[in-house]
Structures are given as structure tokens and as C-alpha cells.
Amino acid sequence: MENEKLKRSFIQKIANFCKRKGFVFPCCEIYGGFSGFYDFGPLGVELKKNIKDEWWNTFVRQRDDVVGIDGCTVTHSMIWKASGHVESFTDPLVECKKCHKRFRGDHLIEDAIGLSVDGITIEQINEIIKKHNLKCPNCKGELTSAKAFNLMFKTFVGAVEDDAHIAYLRPETAQLIFTDFRLVMEVSRLRPPFGIAQIGRVYRNEISPRDFLFRLREFEQMEIEYFVHPDRVNECPYLTEELLNFEMNVYSAEMQQKGEKVKKMSLREILEKNIIKTKWHGYWLALMYKWFMDLGVNPEKLRIRQHLPEERSHYALDTWDIEYRFPFGWKEIHGMANRTTFDLTQHMKFSGKDLRYFDEKTKEKIIPYVVAEPSQGVERAFLTFIIDAYTEEEDRIVLKLHPKLAPYKVAVFPLVSKDGLDEKAKEIHNTLKKKFACFYDDKGSIGRRYARQDEIGTPFCITVDYQTMEDNTVTIRDRNTKEQVRIKITNLESIIRKLIEGEIKFSELKKQNSI
Ligand code: GAP
């Protein structure tokens, strides 16, 4: 309960901060808000776009074996019959017999007795509710038995509202990759091993959306389906020495069952000990873990956790989540299932279309095998980056976002708005904004202006002062250390670019003579 209170107040603080600074607003606030829906404000939309761009650049543009699609969000009902979502995409729902408020059974148990019960069955939920005599958290009324509630939003397409015209708002982007699979393979002339990526909106009618951006009803996913030959799940040509030596905090199903602690292991050790069953699965997990680290997330707050058998989705042979240690506990920020040939087999059955490919080596027609499905919510990544970066120091709040993610890369200030300093600063701002997201500010004291940029994560601030008018140099200030260095205006653009890309460190700037 204490943990629950801590979690609520922390999440509320972050939500207030995000609203105050223009990152995230409650949707339709003028009508009292809309639970599970959030809008992104001027800074939020930039941060979100930067996250998606970083993901797309890393996993699509910089690879020869992954191509992208952008599928529809209103989708044919047959997709979801074939995929099993109509039948199995459910959460346990309990209702109060007195006030008729509805709750997600496993969350109700978690909140009431602090027991994490991810993935337990409806029968187990009913047993726990009975055993602990749990009541409605709202009015202490008696609860109904739990029943399965389907999370898909249903709608009708066209003017007739009958069963033949039912469509679903997609609850995951993955299925559109499977339904487009044959066309993508034909036009891109790729054969397994290869991947198809997608970033797009999805919808889930969550029973109890909560924890700000953590559990939403509308959100975006970034997903890849990676297809291999079913007999070649271990033939991964990208396992470099560097990646094999890459270390992750590991929590396998066996370790959880035996009550052991999380252990740091290299990918090599994980694969050699058969903790992750296929090399491709290990490879993609390491890449995604590294992606978060390369964008500044504290590695000590990351771990990979294997699903217990009862937690796994109906389509998964093996699933590993990447979890982040939020101030209120470890939570999933990224999922990665081995989906086998399940989805393509189902779509072949339901559509009657052949989705196999011709394997040149064996001269056989093969159903591609999804060895790994890297899948994450953009908003959960957003929350992770914000929480990891949010720092309260004695005299300021500073958002230590990685420069690549920061909404503004640079802010330009005139020390005072007179004697031509403001014109010079505007000139610099006009040049830099063609290259970087750049902010101009001449309001208030210089200290206040720095503080405003620190709070929204701007990594570098440029100040034009009287010396600028004499020698065409400006000061550049580092957000994290507050250190300042003088540099020539002519070098500004290349220095800022190198700082953002990590090609030089700010501390090194000081040591250079002619900058
Ligand atoms: N295609 C696989 C799939 O959709 P999932 O574990 O249901 O798997 C993948 O979702 C990711 O989507 C999660 O790791 C999480 O980051 C994000 N996600 C899932 N449900 C969410 C929700 N209600 N609100 C925000 N993000 C969510």
C-alpha cells in the first residue's frame, strides 16, 4: 500500500511536470478529460518524433534486411479471427454489485494485497478474491466473479450496422505486417532472413487505464516481425564480438521460479547456457536493450525478463520483456515474442492464400518463422526517457535527455536586448534553426532563461554578449554541468552537430585551443 501511494504521487508529479512544460496534456481537458487518452503538446510532439526517428533510422534505414510499411488502423474482422484476438485478447473483468464500477481483476488484487499476479487465470483470480475477501475499492461493495473482457474496439464500416460489417481498430501493428507479408516480399525482393517494421497507432479498450502514459487506450507501437527459415533459427550472421560481449541484466523464468536474483551476463554466456533458446532472439534482445542504453537510459535500471509459461500470449513459444525499474517497481517497456509460424499459418488457413516462399537452398516452399518480434509502445519509451532524465538538483530541475532526443537541441540568447546584441543573436538563431530544432529567448534574466531550458532538456545554450560584437565568439553552455566555453560563431554549427552525435564531449571543448 505504501508503495502504491509512492507510485501514485510520483506518477502525478511527472504528469504535472509534463503538462506544465507542454509535453503531454490530458485529452479533452475542457470536457473533464478522457481516461486512457493523452495529447502531446509542442514539446511532447518533438520528443515523440525524435524517439520514432531514432528507432526507424536504427532498425530500418541503417539495415539492408529490414523494410517498412504503414498499415491501416481500421481493419477487416477476419484478421483478428485468424490471429486469435477475437477469442483470446481479453483481460479479467470484475464488477462491483453495488456501485457497478468495473475493475481489471489482476490489478485489483495487485493494489489490494500488493501481489504481482501477471498472467494468472480467471479461476485463480476468483480464488484470490474469495480467499482474501476482497471488496470494491470504491464503495466496499461485493464483487462479481471475474469474466473475460475483449480489449478490441469494435466499429461498423459503411451504412449498415450488422455482423457482416464489423471492423476492429487494430490492437497491435503486427497483424498488418502478416497480411501484407506476401506483397512486401515480392516488391522488396527479400527472402528470409529479413524483417518488416512498422510504427503506428493501436487501440486497446483497457479496463483500467492508469499510470499516466503507461497504460493507455490509444497509443503507438514500433514493431518488427523478423522472419527466418524454421531450420535456421540459430544462423545469425550479425553476432559480432562486440555484441557477444554486451552485458544485460537477466531474469529467466527458471531464476524467477527458483527465487534467484537478477544476474548480469554477456550475450555470449546467455546463448552458451541456452538461457535464450535461439541466437536470433538473443541478437534482437541485445540490440533493443542497447538502443535504450545508447539513448542515455541508465543500464542498471534495465533488465530482460522471460515470461513464465502461464504469462505467454496464445501465439508465443517464448517471450522476453525488457523492463525498466521505475520508482514504483520493474515494469515492461518492450516485449519480444518468438511467434513461430503461428500467424502466417493462421492467415493461410483463413484467407486461402499461399504465404510461403521458395527456398533456393532446399528447393522447397517454406512458411517463414517469426523468430523475434521486437515490439514497444512509443509512449512507454517516452515515459521511460522522461523519468530516467528527470533530475531534481538543489537549485533546479533538469531534464537530462540525450541530445538526440531533446525537443530543442540549442537555445540562443542575447545577454541584453540592446546595442545590437539581439540582432546578432537572431541572426545566429536564423542560421542554426535551418539545421537543428532551435529556440530563441530574450525574456527575463539570463539565469532564468538557462533554468527554463534546463527544465525542458535543451542540451546547449548559446549566449551573445558584448565580447561577441568585438571578436565574433559566443559562449556555449552545457546543460548537465552548467560549464561554459567560448567558441567562434563560424564553428558553432559543426561543434553542435558533433556534440549531439557524441563525436566530441563538452569537456573536450575546453581543452581545444582554437575553437
Ligand atoms: N505485437 C505484440 C504486442 O502487441 P504487447 O506486449 O501486447 O505485444 C507490446 O505490446 C508493447 O506495447 C508493450 O511492451 C508496451 O510497450 C506497449 N503497450 C502495450 N499495451 C499498452 C498500453 N495499454 N498502453 C501503452 N503501451 C502499451
Residue-range definition of the domain harbouring residue 112 = 91-148
Q: Are residues 373 and 500 in the same domain?
A: no
Do 221 and 268 lie in one domain? The reply is: yes
Helices 421-432, 492-501: crossing angle, 10 deg rounding: 50
Q: What does the alpha-carbon distance between residue 331 and residue 107 come to, in Å, rounded to a whole number? A: 14
Contact 234, 103 (CB under 8 A): no
Residue 69 sits in the same domain as residue 96: no
What confidence score (pLDDT) does residue 514 get?
Answer: 47
Q: Is 280 in the pocket of ligand 1 (CB under 6 A)?
A: no
Same domain, 310 and 233: yes
Taking the C-alpha atoms of residue 249 and residue 271, their distance in angstroms, rounded to an integer, is 14
- The total of structural domains in the chain comes to 3
8 A C-beta contact, residue 347 and residue 353:
yes
The residue written with cell numbers 520483456 in the block is 321
Q: Are residues 53 and 115 in the same domain?
A: no
Among 344, 371, 387, residue at a domain's last position: 387
Ligand 1: atom nearest CA of 216 is 24
Q: Which CATH number covers residue 431?
A: 3.40.50.800
Cβ–ligand 1 contact at 46 (below 6 Å) = no
Same domain? For 315 and 427 the reply is no
**Amino acid in position 488:** K
What pLDDT digit, counting tens, does each position of 60-93 carry? 999 999 999 999 999 999 999 999 999 999 999 9
Mean pLDDT in runs of 10 for the chain (515 residues)? 74 97 97 96 98 98 98 98 96 94 92 80 91 94 95 96 96 98 96 98 95 96 98 98 98 97 98 98 98 98 96 94 92 98 98 97 97 98 98 97 98 97 98 98 97 98 98 97 96 97 92 62
| Together in a domain, 221 and 293 | yes
Domain end position, chosen among 358, 387, 416: 387
Q: Is the CB of 332 under 6 A from ligand 1?
A: yes
Clarify whether residues 131 and 167 are in a common domain.
no
Phi-psi category of 348—alpha, beta or left, where left has phi over 0 and alpha has psi -120 to 50?
alpha
Cβ-based neighbour number of residue 229 at 10 Å: 20
User: With a 6 A CB cut-off, is 219 part of the ligand 1 pocket?
Assistant: yes
Paired sense of beta strands 24-26 and 38-40, if any: antiparallel
Task: Indicate whether 348 and 444 sit together in one domain.
Answer: no
Same domain, 59 and 174: yes
DSSP H/E element including 515: none
Ligand 1 closest atom vs CA 380:
16
State whether the beta carbon of 174 lies less than 6 angstroms from ligand 1.
yes
292 with 227, same domain: the answer is yes
> What's the CATH code of the domain at 70?
3.30.930.10
CA atoms within 13 A on the CB side of 339: 26
Class of residue 359 by CB neighbours under 10 A (exposed 0-12, middle 13-18, buried 19+): middle
CA dist., res. 99 & res. 28, Å (int): 26
Residue 500 alpha carbon to ligand 1 centre in Å: 30
pLDDT of residue 515: 55
Q: Contact at 8 Å (CB) between 109 and 115?
A: yes
| Test site for ligand 1: of 207, 220, 332, most ligand atoms within 8 A of the Cβ | 332
Using the 3D structure, point to which of 387, 418, 436 is the last residue of a domain.
Answer: 387
Amino acid at 481: T
Shared domain check, 255 and 337: yes
For residue 114, the domain's CATH number is 3.30.40.230
HSE of 165, CA atoms in CB hemisphere, 13 A: 8
CA-wise closest residue to 156 among 81, 85, 76: 76
